Structure 1
Amino acid sequence: MKKSWVWIFIVLILAACGSGNENEGNLDLSETNFEDISAQAAGTTVDLHMWGGDEGINQYIDEWVAPKLEEEHNITLKRTPVDTKDILSKLYNEKLANKEDGTVDVIWLNGENFKNAKENELLYGPFTDHLPAYQSYYDTDSLSYNNDFGTSVDGLEAPWGKVQFTFLYDTEKVDSPPQSFEELKQWIHENPGKFTYPNPDDFSGNAFVRHLLYQASDSTESLVQEPYSDEKADALGKEVWTYLKEIKSDLWRNGEHYPSSLTELDRLYSQGDVWMTMGYNEARSEHLIDQGVFPESTKSFIMEPGSLGNTHFLAIPFNSGNKAGAITSINYLLSPEAQYVKLQPKYWGDNTPISTDNLPKEQREKFESLDRGASVLPARELEDRFLPEVDSQYVDWIKENWQNEIFKTD
């Protein structure tokens, strides 16, 4: 009899332990506030899987974020460098196998990877309504955070950072940069051979052409929110191809050759063959100036109708074994404290998705006065002129049609 009660006692203990793990892995947000989530996360390990190809980014996570999470939330952050597509492949296989006890708690993704993850139901959520930092300091109605390359976010990922497309020019050769694409066309005609753009197979070259889609569209909101359609692309494309044909003969090498990559365009700019370059990451020129690749007279500019921005996000896999830890960690990564350090050139220099208008005065002034370098535009101008990305299918449409419409034309 005593042995039976002993076994019953052991079974009850094991069941309680199992129940605790299950609750942790299957967090019911409808019945839990953030304070309870944070308390549940204390003493746990969070597995962050992300691209690891930039040493500054890795140092930001390992040397600053991880110690802070340990200090303030008693969370151990484990960073695993991996390609995002490999993460999604792993999650997809675990979904097929009904594996509910996954080893990935937070993933860094956007664009096509997010679209695939959402369509295959690989993500947990919606969870962004339960992030105090996001609700307090971000413009939660922003198209940039509710649409990811044309895919509705629906609370399944939280904006972690953003890069913004800017044009760069040499102030010793260009007195006043153009303020619109019409002015750019005129400048190109007046300065033949001093401008070009990468082949749109390159992402930066493709973005240059995508800006023309926005110029041709009557509404940025409709272009961003509506799914891709061949009819709309073809209608907008008429104006896009006309523009590109009109500038072609005055481009570098008369438009008979286009740089195959942004690296090649940067080289032409550094040599003085062209007087402008371009690309994502509004602060990217700073380290090139420091390295002596770009002239110190390099500055950046944005033209109307605005500047394409690429927001990147953090998400939680459907089978994360530590959803409380994941939510607590993501909330901290979105906090003003973590975002301010991420913004500094020391580690990453990545622009913040925080709406500075939502910050207390002292913090707002701190963000807006941060010196990101003489070539970088003011934070307010970048924020006010940020354009969210269109459906990712337009990227492929431009690649497919540019060859026939522009490169192969006489």
Structure 2
Amino acid sequence: MKFRSLRRQVAIAAGAGLLLTACAAPDSDAPIADALPWNEIEQQAQGQTVSLWMYGGDEQGNAYVDDVLTPAAADAGVTLRRVPVEDTTDAVNRILSERQAGVTDGEVDLVWVNGANFGTGKQAGAWLCGWTQNLPNMQYTDPADPLLSNDFGTPVDDCESPWHKAQFTLVYNAAAVPNPPTTFDGVLDWAQANPGRFTYPAPPDFTGSVFVREALVNESGGVDEVPAQFDQDSYDRLAPALFDRLNALAPSLWREGETYPQSSSELNDLYAGGQVDMTMTYGPATLTQLVADGTYPPETRVLTLDEGTVGNASFLAIPSTSGKSAAAQVVANIALSPEQQLAKSQPEVWGQFTALDITRLTPEEQAQFEQLPSSPVVPSYEVISANAHPELSAEWVTPLDEGWRRSVLAGQ
């Protein structure tokens, strides 16, 4: 079977940075932030510039940071500089290189991160830890929320601050799919019955990787049949059926599976242009604005699956090589405030699901969240996250991505 072409795709940016109490030595021990009173951290932050490294391909996310978060940081005496990146790994590698070189005032001060990149960085001591529990606005989060305490199976351990929640979601054009499937297996069956109208991003794209993990759960008989923590025996037992299913699917995909979108953005463009009838996203709350501004068809709808899909959270982390950790903490705290979380939840701003526990807010703040406009496109978070299951550990990601390239992309 001939090789299918693949271009390396965009992932979402990861990152980190904060106050050091230990030198950024090239070992795996994570530096711990100084336990300073919050008013002292605010004083240290005055006049500092924070470089926030984040995925540059999300126009709404970029606009939110530039137009809403940055002015709020300026009001607190901090200059926020957004640095767009294409691949989270680039940010992590920069931090690790600086750490190896003993840099204590590096180029990265704060990063939008989660998943395997957080786990890899934590193992290598890339992140400053022991700071998020001191953020005043952490009081509005639920300490028992598993999405905020574990990131792809890696304990957060006060090494990153919650930013918003996400839910892996399939999206379809109801005009082209009048009777949508209601299970993941049904989606694959629909794709085979409608050749050329479905595809998914090629791993290691962040969204393409989660699609493959959802397919693994499906082919294995459900989330309870896949160990959350990776082990080679489980991979060897479960992966063959997964790749057999995806190989059987390939000839029915867009361009007969001879090529795959290199990124989730490219898949979204295919959907917006009517070349496929489904797309997929970790940020379904953004769909409302994409329909309102005409980017997506007006009949765009969320495909809720009976068995649920994977849910997670996005975080802000501070590298152990940052010399602006005080200001980075101030920015992370502002980003977690009820005001910023409400603004970011507005569909026309960014439309992200809040990381806050609404019941911990004042009655007035609760009312503001409750008054967010309902969407004809996106159900409530409670509906869209029904039967959600947690991410597999980060250690699953690379073996599955590499297995997909060998067994599906190369057709071996």
TM-score computed with the length of structure 2 as normaliser: 0.75
Cα pair 1:179 1:303 within 8 Å, conserved: yes
Task: Determine which of 128, 133, 137 is the counterpart of 2:137.
Answer: 133
Q: Deviations over 1:21-47 (max 9, x none)?
A: xxx76498675443x445534634241
Deviates more, 1:24-33 or 1:291-300: 24-33
Q: Deviations over 1:89-147 (max 9, x none)?
A: 4543443444445565433333343234322223222222212322x222333333333
CA distance in 2, matches of 1:278, 1:41: 42
Match in the other structure for 1:338:
340
C-alpha distance 141-344 of structure 1, shift in aligned 2 (>3 A): same
Cα pair 2:172 2:301 within 8 Å, conserved: yes
Deviates more, 1:252-261 or 1:154-163: 252-261
Deviates more, 1:37-46 or 1:171-180: 37-46
CA distance in 2, matches of 1:337, 1:404: 47
CA distance in 1, matches of 2:348, 2:295: 20
Q: In the alignment, is residue 143 of structure 1 matched against residue 163 of structure 2? A: no
Q: CA deviation at 1:384?
A: 4.1
Match in the other structure for 2:127:
123
Match in the other structure for 2:80:
78
C-alpha distance 282-361 of structure 1, shift in aligned 2 (>3 A): same
CA distance in 2, matches of 1:264, 1:315: 27
Task: Determine which of 213, 216, 232 is the counterpart of 2:216.
Answer: 213
Match in the other structure for 1:170:
173
CA distance in 2, matches of 1:57, 1:254: 31
C-alpha distance 365-102 of structure 1, shift in aligned 2 (>3 A): same
Q: CA deviation at 1:55?
A: 4.9
Q: In the alignment, is residue 63 of structure 1 matched against residue 67 of structure 2? A: yes
CA distance in 2, matches of 1:93, 1:403: 28
CA distance in 2, matches of 1:296, 1:223: 40
Match in the other structure for 2:158:
155
Q: CA deviation at 1:355?
A: 3.2
CA distance in 2, matches of 1:293, 1:336: 29
Q: CA deviation at 1:156?
A: 0.8
Task: Determine which of 311, 314, 328 is the counterpart of 2:330.
Answer: 328
Q: Deviations over 1:130-174 (max 9, x none)?
A: 12322x222333333333334332221112124432112222343
Q: CA deviation at 1:77?
A: 2.4
CA distance in 1, matches of 2:106, 2:78: 17
C-alpha distance 195-309 of structure 1, shift in aligned 2 (>3 A): farther
SS in 2 for 1:352: coil
Match in the other structure for 1:301:
303
C-alpha distance 307-278 of structure 1, shift in aligned 2 (>3 A): same
Q: Which amino acid aligns with 1:340?
A: L
C-alpha distance 405-338 of structure 1, shift in aligned 2 (>3 A): same
CA distance in 2, matches of 1:52, 1:232: 33
Cα pair 1:168 1:278 within 8 Å, conserved: yes
Deviates more, 1:122-131 or 1:236-245: 236-245
Deviates more, 1:56-65 or 1:150-159: 56-65
Q: CA deviation at 1:299?
A: 0.8
> Tell me, which stretches of 5 or more residues in structure 1 are unaligned?
1-23
CA distance in 2, matches of 1:122, 1:323: 13
Q: CA deviation at 1:247?
A: 5.4
Percent of aligned positions that are identical: 28
Deviates more, 1:400-409 or 1:314-323: 400-409
CA distance in 2, matches of 1:37, 1:220: 47
Q: Which protein is richer in helix relative to its size?
A: 1
Cα pair 1:102 1:320 within 8 Å, conserved: yes
CA distance in 1, matches of 2:112, 2:406: 36
CA distance in 1, matches of 2:239, 2:124: 32
Q: Which amino acid aligns with 2:118?
A: F
CA distance in 2, matches of 1:50, 1:326: 12
Cα pair 1:197 1:208 within 8 Å, conserved: no
Deviates more, 1:165-174 or 1:392-401: 392-401
C-alpha distance 403-197 of structure 1, shift in aligned 2 (>3 A): same
C-alpha distance 384-159 of structure 1, shift in aligned 2 (>3 A): farther
CA distance in 2, matches of 1:236, 1:109: 28
Q: CA deviation at 1:211?
A: 0.8
C-alpha distance 320-256 of structure 1, shift in aligned 2 (>3 A): closer
SS in 2 for 1:196: coil
The structure number with the bigger radius of gyration is: 1
Match in the other structure for 1:394:
396
TM-score computed with the length of structure 1 as normaliser: 0.75
Cα pair 1:214 1:305 within 8 Å, conserved: no
CA distance in 1, matches of 2:105, 2:408: 51
CA distance in 2, matches of 1:221, 1:213: 10
Q: Deviations over 1:314-352 (max 9, x none)?
A: 122324434333323211211121111122233333332
Match in the other structure for 1:260:
261
Cα pair 1:217 1:223 within 8 Å, conserved: no
CA RMSD of aligned residues (A): 3.7
Match in the other structure for 2:114:
110
C-alpha distance 94-401 of structure 1, shift in aligned 2 (>3 A): closer
Query: How many equivalent pairs are there?
Result: 379
Q: CA deviation at 1:282?
A: 0.8
Deviates more, 1:350-359 or 1:207-216: 350-359
